[in-house]
Chains A and B, each alone.
Chain A
Amino acid sequence: MSIPEHRGPAWPIVMRRELTAKLTDKAFLIGTLGSLVILVGYFGYVTFTATKSQSYAVGVTAADRATAATLVTRAKGIDATTTITLTEVPDAAGAKAGLDDERLDAWLHQQPSGWTLTSRDGSDALATILGQAISAEVLADQATRLGTSPEELLKSTRLTQAYLIGDAEKAGLAKGVGFAFAFLFYLAALMYGITIAQSVVEEKQSRIVEIIAAAIPIRHLLAGKILGNSILALGQVLLYAVVGLVGMSLAGYGKYLGVISGPMAWFVAFFIVGFVALASLWAVAGSLASRTEDVQATSGPLTILVMLVLFSGLFATGTVREVLSFVPPTSIVAMPMRVVEGAVPISQVLLSLGLLVAFAAVTITVGERLYRRSLLKTQGRVSLRAAWSSTD
């Protein structure tokens, strides 16, 4: 019997195993599904509250009824989701009684100085919309008397905002999206980083690594491991991002999708390079340990590094942040966050990405050497110095 042989690099075989091992792991699948449920639930809630209609029962006396009715019509034109129902009350005492037993949400009555809205504890949304309706009504009234239109009257008073950085809502959204990016990277880097370290030490502890090392170059083992986990991490993050974007458009933020998708592409680019750069270091952290229990100690510095990346992205401001957005690995988060918040010249983004690629090249080279040299040392923890200076 002769065995059909497959000739080709070994890393795709390793990569495939990493993928299938994870994709058939119940804990992983349940975790992913759980996160999706939370994400969908959140956007469902936002969509629900945004489109939910509000209705108010407002009491008026017979004298105010006609004027109030025109105000309600105006209010309807200002915000269609708010419904105001007028209920006639005999007098002030009757209105108070209606408020007390909660038949009424408010009592609207006209006084010489203007309108008064009385409610149990104040209703801002109702007061705002009625206030706008009253201004509009009065303005229209005055304009008619002057023989002109409200638009003519207000023409020279109009303040048009020109946005240099972006309007406030967009800025808030940018901030939110930036935070989401930063956290996604943080979670993915940490979760998959620890997964890589654990899987390295699992192979080392069980000595299966000796069988593998005798069969294929250790370089291929490392490459397959990093690629497999990078694909998984990116796939998971993209899944969340797509669900997030769909959710945003359903929740009424659809007009911002165009604004966000550009930075999103940069985020993905920085994420891929940044993840790969750190992944080889996580593999080293795993290879320095001999038992699963040691991983926490050997990966401690990396955990701190990943947190540093997160915090620099979230909290650094001004010049510090600009500098950090070029320095790997903090640039992984800081640069895409700058991009999403406003105009960063494309040359700067490319420079930062280039520096990150160079950084990744260094960590992979150094990581490969450390990994190769410490992987087969199975007695106790290996110090970085020992791993670096040893001869295989």
Chain B
Amino acid sequence: MLQITELTRRFGEVTAVDRVSFTVPPGLTGFVGGNGAGKTTTMRMVMGVLGIDEGEVTWQGAPITSADRRRFGYMPEERGLYPKQGVVDQLGYLGQLKGMTRAAARETVMAHLERFGLADRAKEKVEKLSLGNQQRVQIIAAVMAEPICLILDEPFSGLDPSAMDSMADLLREHTSTGVPVLFSSHQLDLVDRLCDRLVVLARGRVVAAGSSEELRSTGPSRYRLVLDGDAGWVRDLRGLHVVDVDGPTAILEVEEPGAEQALLTEALGRGAVHELSPIRPSLADIYREVTA
């Protein structure tokens, strides 16, 4: 398990990351936040490519060492590879830097290229590949050496839907063997769909963390009511906050537990009720709320 405790980084006057704490247990953890929220800065500190002003990063309970990091898979924010070097050559090089033998690195690289349908472009220079393919090569660089933990900065950006699926499959393969994966993304629906947990960052601070169910349950529960006639009368009920009334439809927030039952009784007494249903807030709603 990767644990981040009170991590802080300042750039001059600006505190980019402000006492950030969260854990990355085995499984997929989504790292969500707007531009400049501090996601990349946090990930770079975890990988040791940026100095830490305060706080610490621990791996399996002990302060992280460079030997640990050497076994991490890392994908930096801007896709970085040697543009003028062939795909196999540079992936093989990166594998060797991570401690693989030349032959083992080559073998793993070819297997991964095969999987992404890039085997026939193995000898091509990276700059000749499309951006999506460059990204596939990049993710191979991160996962090829059987990483014990994955830190991926925006791995899904710029991928087409089928590439996203194969990327997601690849990540699940690694999480299924108990590898913690932390990945950042702007795409909330994607994070919602894939992640076991998520950490929301805003202005350098953690504003929410937990499973998406946990996050959803923290907000007030909302209901949608659809009647035959006008729903204006709901404003007179106690224990409810009326968010919106539009003709026969009303959106309500329950302030006192059980108020929704009283509402139903009242509504049935007044006529037909077409719908009374809880509204599952989307992650985007929650995100807007916690980062507001």
Contact = CB atoms under 8 A, between A and B. Distances in A.
B209 interface: no
Contacts of A392: 51
Interface of B: 44, 47-51, 66, 69-70, 72, 74-85, 89, 93-94, 96-104, 108, 141-142, 145-146
A5 B100 CA distance: 5
Q: Which 8 residue pairs spanning A and B have beta carbons closest together?
A: A207-B80, A208-B80, A206-B80, A210-B76, A392-B51, A6-B101, A207-B76, A4-B104
Interface stretch (A140-148, A214-222, A296-304, A351-359): A214-222
Contacts of B69: 214-215
User: Which has the most chain B C-beta neighbours within 10 Å: A14, A208, A390, A391?
Assistant: A208
A17 interface: yes
15 contacts: A1-B146, A2-B146, A3-B108, A4-B101, A6-B101, A7-B99, A13-B93, A17-B93, A21-B84, A206-B83, A207-B76, A209-B80, A211-B80, A214-B49, A217-B66
Interface in A298-349: none
A244 B15 CA distance: 61
B96 A6 contact: yes
Contacts of A216: 70, 97
Contacts of B72: 214
B145 A3 contact: yes
A213 B101 contact: no
B80 A10 contact: no
B76 A10 contact: no
Contacts of A10: 97
Contacts of A36: none
Nearest to B100: A3
A33 interface: no
Given A21-B85, A206-B82, A217-B66, A5 B77 contact: no
A214 B79 CA distance: 15
Nearest to A373: B51
A175 B100 CA distance: 52
Nearest to B77: A207
A389 to B, nearest CB: 13
B94 A211 contact: yes
Contact of B146 (A3, A7, A211): A3
A370 to B, nearest CB: 15
A214 B50 contact: no
A14 B82 CA distance: 13
B97 A206 contact: no
A214 B74 contact: yes
A212 interface: yes
A202 interface: yes
A13 B97 contact: yes
B242 to A, nearest CB: 49
B66 A207 contact: no
A380 to B, nearest CB: 12
A214 B70 contact: yes
A188 B127 CA distance: 29
B145 to A, nearest CB: 6
Contacts, number: 88
A1 B146 CA distance: 9
Given A206-B78, A376-B50, A391-B51, A3 B70 contact: no
B144 to A, nearest CB: 9
B99 A206 contact: no
A50 B69 CA distance: 67
B49 A376 contact: yes
Contacts of A6: 96, 99-102
Contacts of B83: 202, 206
Contacts of B74: 210-211, 214
Contacts of B77: 207
Nearest to A6: B101
A3 B71 CA distance: 12
Given A3-B146, A206-B82, A210-B44, A215 B98 contact: yes
A4 B49 CA distance: 27
B99 A5 contact: yes
B214 to A, nearest CB: 31
A214 B82 contact: no
A3 B96 CA distance: 11
Contacts of B80: 203, 206-211
Contacts of A206: 78-83
Given A206-B80, A217-B66, 16 more contacts: A3-B108, A3-B146, A4-B101, A5-B100, A7-B99, A21-B82, A206-B79, A208-B82, A211-B141, A212-B94, A212-B97, A214-B47, A214-B69, A216-B97, A376-B50, A391-B51
Nearest to A390: B51
Contact of B49 (A13, A202, A210): A210
B49 A213 contact: yes
A215 B50 contact: no
Contacts of B96: 6, 13
Contacts of B48: 213-214
Contacts of B101: 4-6
Interface in A1-40: 1-7, 10, 13-14, 17, 20-21
A207 B79 contact: yes
A4 B80 CA distance: 26
A17 B97 CA distance: 11
Given A13-B96, A376-B49, A208 B66 contact: no
A14 B96 CA distance: 9
B11 to A, nearest CB: 9
A275 B4 CA distance: 44
A212 B50 CA distance: 13
B70 A215 contact: yes
A223 B142 CA distance: 24
Contacts of A21: 82, 84-85
